Structure 1
């Protein structure tokens, strides 16, 4: 039997166990594909309003990402993974286990019968797996996420999911920062949804003491959030009034900015680099500064004219160019960067996260500078706001 036939045999058992409610778990390991930091994948069955789905948990070095797929999509993804990306897989069902091992072009399957095993419930009760427990959290009630009974309000379900997803991503990154009591600065904190939840998780769940500061320009929000922090007993959390660019971030170990509009994201990155922060994470919002230059330049590269003459494609291209240059500038200043979607675009179209971690060695500054210059020239960009900030004398 060929390796392709053995893979289809394995996938057939996966489909059967899924359809018969016999799937206990499926784990893929031995990753050797091109995606940085991916280690393994866990797969289970869930029951949601739209029907039964496969829930994939992608385990990366510092975070997990969950994707729920209908059966055809899931089987297609598993077929690709088993053919060229993962060397082993373990399928556990209520009646048997099957191990999958691939060595080059050879695939080996081993089946072992089991008895007395029950499949886990497929009910998609996400609350059981939340990073933050909604009950008895004064800050969630004050922020109108939960009612007096501690249950999440129907109109706040999406916001609560977003908060938990962001904590799921940010918490392990911050926990990896060396030293005790790291200083975390949340730039443009707004009403502090993430600030409160992240502090709560780190201090009360992960038992990782931190000093956290939320920086917000609107004085009324600063006053509100400081009162909520006091009522919640969050002694290591405070909010300060001011703009991002004027805030003194000296001593910050991590700088966070979620949806700081346009060049305010650059201001936050600049503050993180200037303070020597170990971690800089931003979710950009709006990309007007670069887009204006691209729109006013002679039609950018004739080969892209068929795309960029359409406003929606120009907007998307400007977003990618802006954030791509941000990643390059971070690398130029000694950071390892990753750019990825951190929540579904069903929640917000501004769902790209840039994660930058300080490295002991810097990138090839000359090569990165040449790439930045070439990119600017190609797209008709005179300057990038972050680049200008970094070039100015401190």
Structure 2
């Protein structure tokens, strides 16, 4: 991951912790900017009459200055600060610590799971928001995540951790959508792990979202709809059909978790063509571009990498997803790619998040696409064809 991606993952964790109420403390250290005598900045979430804020304290040699910022201002400050003025950052939450450190031009990001912490209230009493938790819920039991006692099964710990992480990431992104009742479409829903988890979480937070799972296999569609009804999730629906055949008009968010090879591109295309504000995909398999890289003529300077099968596979994954990000930027989306869960739990752990607006130059993005294709001997990326660009 690049330095900007690691910074963005840290900022996203801060945003998520602010929204779900799990923040304990934020600290930025190793200051080397222009402000004389500034040592560090520490922050916590507070509830004021004007609303929830991040209370940041600038600690100087002889004084402290406190500012209460809205979350967008705080996120911008942290993002800019880590990029330019601070060498380290630490975020402590109820469930984990996240440490980011600059090493030359690179950043190292380390996450440590914790348990047993309590979050102090930062102002008036309020209902404490909690992340998705296990329990005697019909959908968790039916999908084999929890047993009859409501506890997560030993064999499902990784699955539960993965979907919980996805919910943590999606929650603040969905919170930013302009629609009061966001319409979220999951392409290639499968058994609906993510759909049930996300709907359960949003319903618990009072977000009146509609979640639709698109799935080719009729039995999984029937099973999903029966389980949604059994769970009391009236606004969660599963529909039969392929990704490309589904009419995604009116979708505010299009997501796809581990849609294989070009199915990920189908999901991205449907998100772009529907004008969705949010597109988020966790790719799986990268065969289409890899075949072209193996058959084509790449820049000779890459031979030392591409002649090894294991390196070719990794390069194909990065090139495929890098081109997807560029094509999203060319379509008017600002994008970021990062690991959403440790590769200890799944090797397919990259997430592409695209938000409509504030994108860079379309021409610059398309030129970069052409340059990358020439470098790696690629004739055409499948998504290019869907978008009418090749």
Residue 300 of structure 2 is matched in structure 1 by 302
Q: CA deviation at 1:346?
A: 0.4
**2:353 is equivalent to residue 350 of structure 1:** no
- The answer (yes or no) to whether the contact 2:145–2:156 under 8 Å persists in 1 is yes
CA distance in 1, matches of 2:188, 2:369: 27
- Note the 1:326-341 alignment, pairs <5 A: 326-341=324-339
- The answer (yes or no) to whether the contact 2:6–2:338 under 8 Å persists in 1 is no
- The answer (yes or no) to whether the contact 2:332–2:362 under 8 Å persists in 1 is no
CA distance in 2, matches of 1:109, 1:290: 58
Residue 89 of structure 2 is matched in structure 1 by none
**1:117-157: per-residue Cα shift (whole Å, max 9, x none)?**
xxx99994379896212113111011111111111111111
CA distance in 1, matches of 2:242, 2:116: 37
**1:210-256: per-residue Cα shift (whole Å, max 9, x none)?**
11100111111111111100000000000011111111111100000
| Pairwise CA RMSD | 3.2
Residue 6 of structure 1 is matched in structure 2 by none
Residue 379 of structure 1 is matched in structure 2 by 376
Change in 2 beyond 3 A, CA 1:211/1:371:
same
**2:40 is equivalent to residue 88 of structure 1:** yes
CA distance in 2, matches of 1:60, 1:161: 15
SS in 1 for 2:248: coil
SS in 2 for 1:82: strand
Residue 186 of structure 1 is matched in structure 2 by 186
- The answer (yes or no) to whether the contact 1:100–1:109 under 8 Å persists in 2 is no
CA distance in 2, matches of 1:365, 1:189: 31
- The answer (yes or no) to whether the contact 2:29–2:41 under 8 Å persists in 1 is no
- The answer (yes or no) to whether the contact 1:337–1:354 under 8 Å persists in 2 is yes
Gapped regions of structure 1 (runs ≥ 5):
1-33, 42-56, 66-77, 93-98, 103-107, 112-119
Gapped regions of structure 2 (runs ≥ 5):
19-26, 45-56, 65-93, 97-112, 119-128
Residue 10 of structure 1 is matched in structure 2 by none
Runs of 4+ that moved beyond 2 A: 34-39, 57-65, 83-87, 89-92, 99-102, 108-111, 120-130
- The answer (yes or no) to whether the contact 2:31–2:40 under 8 Å persists in 1 is no
- Note the 1:153-232 alignment, pairs <5 A: 153-204=153-204, 206-232=205-231
Deviates more, 1:181-190 or 1:125-134: 125-134
TM score, norm. by length of structure 2 = 0.72
TM score, norm. by length of structure 1 = 0.71
Change in 2 beyond 3 A, CA 1:62/1:249:
farther
Residue 243 of structure 1 is matched in structure 2 by 242
Count the aligned residue pairs. Answer: 309
- Note the 1:228-307 alignment, pairs <5 A: 228-298=227-297, 300-307=298-305
**2:148 is equivalent to residue 148 of structure 1:** yes
CA distance in 2, matches of 1:379, 1:202: 42
SS in 2 for 1:340: strand
**1:156-191: per-residue Cα shift (whole Å, max 9, x none)?**
111111111110001110111012111100001111
Change in 2 beyond 3 A, CA 1:157/1:362:
closer
- The answer (yes or no) to whether the contact 1:127–1:133 under 8 Å persists in 2 is no
**1:71-123: per-residue Cα shift (whole Å, max 9, x none)?**
xxxxxxx9x9525599614599xxxxxx9847xxxxx3889xxxxxxxx9999
Residue 125 of structure 1 is matched in structure 2 by 115
Q: Computing the radius of gyration over CA atoms, which structure comes out larger, 1 or 2?
A: 1
Q: CA deviation at 1:284?
A: 0.4
Change in 2 beyond 3 A, CA 1:314/1:84:
farther
Q: CA deviation at 1:363?
A: 3.1
Change in 2 beyond 3 A, CA 1:121/1:285:
closer
CA distance in 1, matches of 2:58, 2:217: 57
Relative CO higher for 1 or 2, CA cutoff 8 Å, sep ≥ 6?
Answer: 2
CA distance in 2, matches of 1:303, 1:121: 45
- The answer (yes or no) to whether the contact 1:37–1:60 under 8 Å persists in 2 is no
